[in-house]
Amino acid sequence: MRFVTKTIIRDTFKRGPYPEMIRRKELREEIIRSSHLAAPKPFPGPFCTHSEFVRYVDSSGKLIVELHRYLRPDGSLGASGKLDPKRLRDGTTILTIRAK
């Protein structure tokens, strides 16, 4: 495991195959936690938006990426409209955000 900054993990996620693998449903999605936002803050969003932590694994169950997202009732992403990676597999190394 290697601890990195938010910028490094986001750049690695964005440049890597992860978004496309998720879009193509090549990875199995596992919801780690989903919380209904009573008042959708810190962004303006519709009622029933959820804050979710999601794990994506490959066909053998190996962690590929864990991320946070705000999911609107229509299935679109809220807030920035981007997935926010927290941990990901980069080759044989797991990158994770350094705690402050």
Q: For 10-26, what is the mean pLDDT?
A: 96
pLDDT greater than 90 at residue 100: no
Separation CA 51–CA 71 (nearest Å): 6
In tens, the pLDDT along 41-99 reads 666 677 788 899 999 999 999 999 999 999 999 999 988 889 999 999 999 999 999 87
pLDDT for residue 6: 95
pLDDT value for 78 = 84
**Does the pLDDT value for residue 1 go beyond 60?**
yes
Q: What is the 3-state secondary structure (H, E, C) of 36-86?
A: ECCCCCCCCCCCCCEEEEEEEECCCCCEEEEEEEEECCCCCECCCCCCEEE
Give pLDDT, residue 15: 96
Looking at residue 81, its pLDDT comes to 86
Q: Is the pLDDT of residue 37 over 90?
A: no
